[in-house]
Amino acid sequence: MDGRHTGKNIAAAVLEVISSYDIEKKIGYFTVDNASNNDTALAEIGDALGFHWPERRIMSLSSGMLTMACLLCSANTSSGGREDPLGSFTTSVKKSIGQTYGRGSLSRPRSTAFERQQKTLGSKPINQLRLSPDNATRWFSQFYMMQRALRLKPFYDTFIFEARAHFDSENRTRCGNLRKGVREPYFLQEGNRLEESDWEAIQALHDILLNFELVIKSLQGDSQSREKQRSLGEEAIDQIHGASWEILDAYEFLLDGLETAKGIVAGLPEGDHLVVNVNNAWKKLDSYYAKVGESPLIYAAAVLNPGKRWDAFDGWYEDHPNWIDAARQQVYRLWREQYKDLPIDAEDVLEPPRKALRLSTNKFTNLKKQRRDVSGQTSASLSPCASPAATEPDEFELWEHDHAAGDKHVEDPRLYWHKRRQKYPRLSRMALDLHTVLPMSAEVERLFSVTGHMVIPLRNRLHADTLSLCQTIRSWYHAGVIQDLDPMLKWTGNMIPDVEESED
């Protein structure tokens, strides 16, 4: 797309692609972030193709989760407060961490101490563990900064001692005064060092953000194993796949976590500031949750998970009882208007199933399993909406009465519905359509990264059409459409191979 990324320009580019493939009648849902230009683009596309765009819009959870992280680590003292960049506890801690373990001349004491310790122990060379700095481009950089800082905490006092000695030896006179024009670095100034109370606050924020990291890593999955995709959960999460039927659980999990966090941070020395941040994050997340009902996809995807069915809405009885009937009406209306009388071809039910994946046992997954096993069996409650069919029950009604012993243990609903595509051809089509909508636009971000790695200094004049062609072929290869691929197109995490050194 050329020009500015305005909503109209985005819509024009998308409509051009849709028209070129002649798929105007096959458009489903759009997973987008919360930028206003995306709303404008979807409104333009909806007008052109004749659909109500809010019902087709799925807000990517990644953008919402990052907003929560920013609010939790914000320097504002209230939802409408003024920025206090130096007086704020959060900003002060972030600045202390960043400069304490930062690069430059002040990192020399750290390197010297590390090298001396290595020589003393006689160990083989070890890579130094450096800080993960907070930045504006990496997802959840605040969380990873705190995670690394907590890991380096045992060495903090030693580093401060050696940094002080190194600074004084180079910048103080024999009388102990600072040389003219020299200022102490921020992290060595009195009152700016990280005390035990600061570490407690960092640990509390880290624990809050850990819930968000677990959800993001779970919902951004694309069914592909990644060796370094790790979390602080009980086991590796690289086999969890992004699933639209987990979105409701994700919101409930995060909101419950923030409710618990309010009581935890209130007892900290800087609790007043942190409680405000947690409240702001909770309000923003709750406002996103309230918008879930704009699209029937999320409700229907949860209901068509055989392990949940209508129990997916049980968590609303206490706080949002008025949501339940509206959500049930939306699910049945989607079925009745788009799938109940859908013509089915034989080829539609013969596609190969995806391989069932083993889920992780981190906290987020445990919550989902607990809610599924509360009663010990799958609920047999039926939809209160009467079917328009007066003579015989439709597929949805038949499935509501069809309960197998293992339904509540189903881990991959897509495989479940693929096996039942002949018994419920239309309902399985509806379920597979909804369950294959990604809850996050993470795959697009990965594509941007992989494409960017193709444009290295040795290939800096590649045309956009060439990049598009290469990525299309690469996508076909990973999907199994083609069996072989040029090595240049295989992304394995190291685009530039190591060059073996020749022997002299």
Contact 304, 413 (CB under 8 A): yes
In a domain, 38, yes or no: yes
- Kindly state whether residues 275 and 245 are assigned to the same domain: yes
In a domain, 191, yes or no: no
- The pLDDT > 70 percentage for the chain reads 67
* Selected residue with higher pLDDT from 437 and 227: 437
Chain position carrying tokens 């003024």: 82
Q: Residue 83 — pLDDT band, cuts 50, 70, 90? A: very low
Q: Which of helix, strand or coil describes residue 162?
A: helix
19-41 pLDDT tens trace: 988 888 888 888 887 778 888 98
Amino acid code (one letter) for 36: S
**CA 502, CA 504: separation in Å to the nearest integer?**
6
- Kindly state whether residues 281 and 265 are assigned to the same domain: yes
- Kindly state whether residues 415 and 448 are assigned to the same domain: no
In a domain, 156, yes or no: no
Alpha carbon of 113 to those of 103, 120, 121, 185: distances in Å? 15, 11, 12, 20
Q: Residue 124 — pLDDT band, cuts 50, 70, 90? A: low
Query: What is the arithmetic mean of pLDDT over 245-253?
Result: 86
In a domain, 185, yes or no: no
Distance of CA 339 to the CA centre of its chain: 31
Contact 455, 467 (CB under 8 A): yes
With a cut of 60, say whether residue 246 has pLDDT above it: yes
The domain boundary residue, chosen from 42, 59, 76: 59
Q: Exposed, middle or buried: residue 59 (CB in 10 Å: 0-12, 13-18, 19+)?
A: buried
- Kindly state whether residues 235 and 207 are assigned to the same domain: yes
- Kindly state whether residues 370 and 485 are assigned to the same domain: no
The structural domain count of the chain equals 3
With a cut of 60, say whether residue 101 has pLDDT above it: no
Distance of CA 80 to the CA centre of its chain: 27
65-81 pLDDT tens trace: 667 666 766 655 454 44
The domain boundary residue, chosen from 11, 34, 59: 59
382-412 pLDDT tens trace: 444 444 444 556 888 899 888 888 888 888 8
**CA 450, CA 259: separation in Å to the nearest integer?**
38
Query: What is the arithmetic mean of pLDDT over 302-325?
Result: 84
Taking alpha carbons only, the member of 378, 205, 384 closest to residue 304 is 378
- Residue 502 has a pLDDT of 40
- Kindly state whether residues 392 and 473 are assigned to the same domain: no
Please give the residue range of the domain that contains residue 467. 442-489
343-387 pLDDT tens trace: 877 665 555 555 554 555 567 766 666 665 544 444 434 444 444
In a domain, 7, yes or no: yes
Q: Residue 96 — pLDDT band, cuts 50, 70, 90? A: low
Lookup: tokens for 88: 């704020």
* Selected residue with higher pLDDT from 177 and 99: 177
* Selected residue with higher pLDDT from 280 and 187: 280
- Kindly state whether residues 468 and 407 are assigned to the same domain: no
**CA 223, CA 118: separation in Å to the nearest integer?**
42
140-196 pLDDT tens trace: 777 888 888 888 888 888 888 888 888 878 877 877 777 787 777 777 777 777 788
With a cut of 60, say whether residue 271 has pLDDT above it: yes
- Kindly state whether residues 388 and 327 are assigned to the same domain: yes
Amino acid code (one letter) for 397: E
* Selected residue with higher pLDDT from 63 and 279: 279
**CA 49, CA 84: separation in Å to the nearest integer?**
48
Pairing of strands 57-59, 30-32: parallel
Residues whose CB is less than 8 angstroms from the CB of residue 66 and which lie 6 or more positions away in sequence, other chains included: 139, 140
DSSP assignment of 254-321 equals HHHHHHHHHHHHHTSTTHHHHHHHHHHHHHHHHHHHHGGGGSHHHHHHHHTSTTTGGGGGGGGTTT-H
- Kindly state whether residues 434 and 453 are assigned to the same domain: no
- Report CA Rg, the chain: 27
453-495 pLDDT tens trace: 778 777 778 787 888 888 888 878 877 788 877 776 665 544 4
Residues whose CB is less than 8 angstroms from the CB of residue 5 and which lie 6 or more positions away in sequence, other chains included: 37
In a domain, 469, yes or no: yes
DSSP assignment of 94-149 equals HHHHHHHT-SSGGGHHHHHHHHHHHHHHTPPP----------SSSTTHHHHHHHHH
Contact 79, 277 (CB under 8 A): no
The pTM score is: 0.70
The domain boundary residue, chosen from 44, 59, 74: 59
Contact 202, 156 (CB under 8 A): no
**CA 233, CA 464: separation in Å to the nearest integer?**
40
Contact 66, 77 (CB under 8 A): no
- Residue 80 has a pLDDT of 43
In a domain, 179, yes or no: no
- Kindly state whether residues 237 and 316 are assigned to the same domain: yes
- Residue 97 has a pLDDT of 53
- Kindly state whether residues 358 and 222 are assigned to the same domain: yes
In a domain, 151, yes or no: no
Query: What is the arithmetic mean of pLDDT over 105-126?
Result: 49
Element (H, E) at 72: helix 61-72
- Kindly state whether residues 298 and 345 are assigned to the same domain: yes
Q: 57 φ, ψ to 5°?
A: -100, 125
Alpha carbon of 57 to those of 52, 266, 289, 292, 335: distances in Å? 9, 37, 14, 10, 18
* Selected residue with higher pLDDT from 490 and 107: 490
**CA 197, CA 173: separation in Å to the nearest integer?**
34
Contact 237, 229 (CB under 8 A): yes
* Selected residue with higher pLDDT from 254 and 381: 254
